[in-house]
């Protein structure tokens, strides 16, 4: 018996013993319908084999799942606890570029090192189940799934704005774009370009996804982020005819503040703006030059930059007006980069009395601010400061809104939809 614990000797012996006897192998009992053994599938997130070896974060992550796997085994369960390698994508690509190696050579080298280190840590994986996402025997199934989604109508192609590097001639993920709007690899200024993208109809399952969130024992903050990502919103699409043209701008709204709408803001990538730049929609020459400059400037900003709440609002007036069919008046059409083409319809009705972004925009460009909701304090004065704003979710009553006057803020949207518009679910 050892009088002193020497990890290098003691652990090595037992790791080799476990591997020799395949202690953690999932036996055929897992396939047996007659087996009374309970089955557990304990899956940890596969690591990116993009570094030269494991770091302490890997040990922290995989110790947790290993403890769970061992717990169930010790309680008589048949446990499948596999390990594999997430070898595709940016981490491996960036590591290969940095090391000036072919990823086909570098990734297997890293996997060998990772596997050796994991074994030395004593993790209870069934190494007979090991695979890499670069194995044809694995990714043929992801390709098969892609085809099935397409056949079922759950996949479609559409143009969407992406970060694009003109020098590298490739699309970029947000994390590849630095704070100054340059590509982290080559230093070139990135652009926003509309390119064909494959899109999954996740929205078709929005109701189910939201319902299933209720059963998750996750932190409230994470659950809220998931709800925002799923993004189901009930509201109405309102069509605003553009004066002097045959065009219509559609805005989606979830709040009954159409009577407080004093402008429309559209994204620089909106189809309406593209038509202006192409000359299909006429605007004064000086306006056209301003629009082109603004669109180019917006294309050089990252999505994070554009959505930064603290950044001063920017915009340019198109010189055109749209008709508000609810309030029955004309409103100016502006372009701003805080509206994204891939969110909603890419156009937003500006109601500065009841939205913080709209308020900042209206103050900056001296646009009218109309109150259509009175809060619990009963203040009906002109809105001059942001603390006076009543936004969706707050308690209040409708005012200055004709057929909505006197209704609770929360009831106004339903009444608006019942009165003039078709109710829709927009995801």
DSSP string, 325-353: TTTTEEEEEEE-TTS-TTSTTSEEEE-TT
d(CA 254, CA 250): 13
pLDDT for 209 beyond 70: yes
Note the helical H segments in 23-85: 56-74
pLDDT for 116 beyond 80: yes
Question: Which pLDDT does position 320 carry in this prediction?
Answer: 97
- Nearest Cα neighbor of 326 from 403, 243, 414 is 403
Query: Is the CB of residue 271 less than 8 Å from the CB of residue 359?
Result: no
Mean of per-residue pLDDT scores for the chain: 85
Kindly state the average pLDDT of the residues 404-424: 61
Q: Is the pTM of this model over 0.75?
A: no
Question: Which pLDDT does position 425 carry in this prediction?
Answer: 41
Kindly state the average pLDDT of the residues 175-194: 84
Query: Is the CB of residue 68 less than 8 Å from the CB of residue 42?
Result: yes
Instruction: Please report which confidence band the pLDDT of residue 378 belongs to, taking 50, 70 and 90 as the band edges.
Output: confident
Return the sign of the alpha-carbon dihedral for residues 157, 161, 166, 171: negative
pLDDT in tens, 251-265: 987 766 778 889 999
**Domains of the chain from N-terminus onward:** 7-140 (3.40.50.620), 145-229 (2.170.220.10), 234-426 (3.90.740.10)
C-alpha distances out from residue 41 to 27, 65, 231, 424, Å = 13, 11, 30, 40
Return the sign of the alpha-carbon dihedral for residues 150, 153, 158, 161: negative
Instruction: Please report which confidence band the pLDDT of residue 420 belongs to, taking 50, 70 and 90 as the band edges.
Output: low
pLDDT for 191 beyond 80: yes
């Amino acid at each position: 018996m050892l009088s002193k614990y020497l990890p290098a000797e003691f652990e090595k012996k037992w790791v080799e013993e476990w591997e020799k006897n395949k202690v953690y192998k999932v036996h055929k009992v897992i396939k047996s319908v007659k087996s009374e053994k309970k089955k557990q599938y304990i899956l940890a997130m596969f690591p990116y084999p993009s570094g030269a070896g494991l770091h302490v974060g890997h040990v922290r992550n995989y110790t947790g799942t290993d403890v769970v796997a061992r717990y169930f085994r010790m309680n008589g369960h048949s446990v499948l606890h596999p390990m594999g390698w997430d070898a595709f994508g940016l981490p491996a690509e960036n590591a290969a570029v940095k090391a000036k190696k072919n990823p086909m050579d570098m990734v297997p080298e890293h996997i060998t090192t990772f596997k050796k280190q994991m074994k030395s840590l004593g993790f209870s994986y069934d190494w007979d189940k090991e695979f890499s996402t670069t194995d044809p025997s694995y990714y043929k199934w992801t390709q098969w799934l892609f085809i099935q989604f397409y056949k079922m109508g759950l996949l479609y192609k559409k143009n969407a704005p992406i970060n694009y590097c003109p020098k590298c001639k490739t699309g970029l993920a947000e994390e590849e774009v630095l704070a100054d709007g340059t590509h982290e690899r080559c230093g070139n200024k990135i652009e926003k370009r509309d390119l064909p993208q494959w899109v999954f109809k996740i929205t078709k399952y929005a109701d189910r996804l939201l319902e299933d969130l209720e059963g998750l024992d996750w932190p409230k903050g994470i659950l809220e982020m998931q709800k925002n990502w799923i993004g189901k919103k009930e509201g109405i699409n309102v069509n605003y005819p553009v004066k002097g043209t045959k065009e219509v701008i559609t805005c989606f709204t979830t709040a009954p503040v159409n009577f407080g709408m004093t402008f429309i803001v559209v994204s620089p990538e909106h189809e309406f703006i593209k038509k202006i730049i192409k000359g299909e929609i006429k605007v004064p020459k000086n306006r056209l030059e301003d629009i082109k400059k603004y669109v180019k400037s917006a294309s050089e900003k990252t999505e994070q930059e554009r959505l930064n709440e603290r950044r001063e609002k920017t915009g340019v007036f198109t010189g055109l007006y749209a008709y508000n069919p609810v309030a029955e008046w004309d409103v100016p059409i502006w372009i701003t980069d805080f509206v994204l083409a891939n969110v909603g319809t890419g156009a937003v009705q500006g109601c500065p009395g009841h939205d913080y972004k709209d308020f900042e925009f209206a103050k900056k460009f001296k646009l009218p601010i109309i109150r259509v909701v009175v809060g619990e304090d009963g203040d009906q004065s002109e809105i001059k400061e942001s603390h006076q704003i009543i936004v969706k979710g707050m308690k209040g009553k409708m005012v200055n809104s004709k057929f909505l006057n006197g209704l609770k803020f929360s009831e106004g949207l339903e009444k608006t939809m019942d009165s003039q518009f078709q109710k829709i679910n927009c995801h």
